[in-house]
Every structure is written in C-alpha cells, then in structure tokens.
Amino acid sequence: MKVSIVKKAKLEGITAASGVEVVDGIIYIVSDDSSCLYKIKHDLTLLEKIVLHSSMANDPERIPKHYKTDLECMGQFSINGYKHLLLLGSGSKGPQRDRGFLVKLPTNYSRRHIVWEINIASLYQLLRSHQEITGNGEINLEGLAFGNNKVYIMNRGNPSGSMNMVLSFDKAEFVEYIQGHSDGVPFPSIHAISLPELSGVQTGFSGADFFDNLFWFTCSAENTVNAYEDGEIKGSKIGLLKIHEKSNGRFSEEKIVLHEVVSFMEDGMLFQGKVESLSVYEKDREGTYSALVVTDNDGGASDLLLMDIQI
C-alpha cells in the first residue's frame, strides 16, 4: 500500500478535529472539544454548524477537557433508506464521555438535520466490565465503521499496556439498540490487534472506515500512560484490516487481523502529526482510492488532508 498527501488545508475555526465523513460530496467533521457538528462544502466553505448538545462552557466550540463529551467516533449508515450519522464519546471518563448522538441527514422532503441524544450508558458499562476488552476497567473508543452486516468500534491501546481492540457487533442488533428499540445490550466479538511502534511508542487506533468492502483504519503514536492524559505525538499511520469469516451453515466465526499498515511522507519527511480519522469516498478507474483525513494540532486549527491510496 502506498499513501500520499495530495493537498493540505487548514480548517479555520475547527480545533481538535476527531472525525470525518464524506456523504454525497458533503464533508461532516466533528471535534472532540466542541458541541457542534460541522457541515462543509468541498471548497471548505462552512455551510452549517449543527448543535449536538448544550454546554456550560463559555465557548461551546472550545469546551474544557474536564467537561467535554470527547466525541471521537463517527460513522454513516442508513435507517429505512434514510442516511444517518452516529457519533460516540470515547468513554475515557464517565459519565461525561459516555454519550452518543444520532443525526438524521437532510432529505428532499426535509432540509434540516434532526439530532437525538441516545442512551448508551449500558453499553459503556458493559465494555468497561469485560476483562478481555480492558483488563483495567478503562476504555478509549476512537473509531467507528459500519460494514455490510457488522458495526465495528475501535478501542485504542496505549503504551501502558492496554491492547488495541476491534469490537464487532451484529449490525441489525446494534442499530435497534441505539434507537432505543431494545433493552438488551449488544455484545461484541473481540479482536485484539497488534499494531507497530513509531519512534519507540506503541501506536493506537484513532479512526476507522469501511469502503469498497475494505476495512480501513488510522493509528497514531502518543506517549501517554492512560486514556485520559495527553502526550507527545510521534506520528501516524494508515492501514487495512482483513476480515475472515467461516460458516458451517448454522454458526459463523469472524476473525479480524492486521493486513497492512504504512507511514506516509510530508515535505520529504515522515508525517509527524496526529491523524484522528479518515473517510475513504472514491475509487478511480486505475484503482486509486481518495480519502479525507483530519488531524488534531494541539489547540490550533486542525488540518484536512486529501490523500491518494494505492493498494
């Protein structure tokens, strides 16, 4: 796999970008310290700020760390043919970060976004209590991707020893749960993924996407001891996971493994920024994929990278 930066632009007014999705040519970006979802044109003109929740902060777009919802996961999917976005908090500090929001996107009949806060505290409690997932009661959800029949949530590992995990849920069951149609909490299959180091620091999942039947992810190296504290960034990578499924007619078994992960260059040097998420949205006739990637620049305006990916 070869990854290259085609163009780089500042997202003026958006700090701490944590998720990106391209839907019908429109770019949606979420920030982990803002209470808004940003809707942006391809030329980076801001079309709309969609308010997700109220905030006690003086500036709802720069919520202090202790109070923020820390929305790190965003994925797109459909309910009854209508496109939606799901946004999830990281869960790295409860209850502030145990929140989720479902956003119905505009249609020909309604040009506005409809936002619901969803009750998913029971899911976070389940994940924290499961020894195979955490080992220490700590979670840090950083990526979300909707596959054909599954929903994938990425739990980020850290240098203190917490493993990178892919949590795989039955899609129909998960969508029923987030709509409040089921009292039962969906239980995932759990896949530990061993990611490489960068400059001696273990990389951890930072984003995910599912496009063209391929499971894409981003990871970054942050020298921190837990899911809450920030640390020095050593760089980022982009990769692919491989899904193997076996069925005996009655039961199916899923196995997710690392397929490939690569670094990429900026101005002739290895990219040193903190990549937070990617959205792969197009494949040309030569087989090259186009993706948008967002970065978190430690309080400054975030960057949006247009990437070419060849596999």
Concatenated DSSP letters for 114-146?
EEEEE--HHHHHHHHH-TTT-SSS---EEEEEE
| Distance, CA of 117 to CA of 247 (rounded, Å) | 37
Residue 304 clears pLDDT 90, i.e. is over it: yes
Sheet harboring 82-89: ordered strands across? 71-79, 82-89, 100-104, 114-118
Q: Which residues of 190-206 are buried (b: 16+ CB within 10 A; e: fewer)?
A: bbebebeebeebbbbbb
Q: Which of 49-58, 114-123, 212-221 has the lowest mean pLDDT?
A: 49-58
The Cα angle at residue 156 between residues 84 and 141, in degrees rounded to 5: 35
Q: Which of 18-32, 150-164, 289-303 has the lowest mean pLDDT?
A: 150-164
Contact present, 278 and 210 (Cβ < 8 Å):
no
Residue for token pair 């999917």: 77
Structure tokens at 155: 């739990």
CA-CA distances (angstroms) from residue 92 to 24, 26, 98, 111, 228?
32, 30, 8, 35, 6
Which pLDDT tens digit goes with each residue over 53-106? 876 555 656 666 777 788 999 999 999 999 999 999 999 888 889 999 999 999
Structure tokens at 163: 């493993």
Domain residues of the chain, as ranges?
2-310
Confidence of residue 247 (pLDDT cuts 50, 70, 90): confident
Give pTM, 2 decimals: 0.94
Q: Which residues pair with 8 in a beta bridge?
A: 305
| 128-146: average pLDDT | 88
Residue 148 clears pLDDT 60, i.e. is over it: yes
Residue 299 clears pLDDT 80, i.e. is over it: no
Q: How is domain 2-310 classified at the CATH fold level?
A: Neuraminidase (2.120.10)
Per-residue confidence (pLDDT) for residue 134, from 0 to 100? 75
Residue 229 clears pLDDT 70, i.e. is over it: no
CA-CA distances (angstroms) from residue 85 to 33, 66, 144?
18, 25, 11
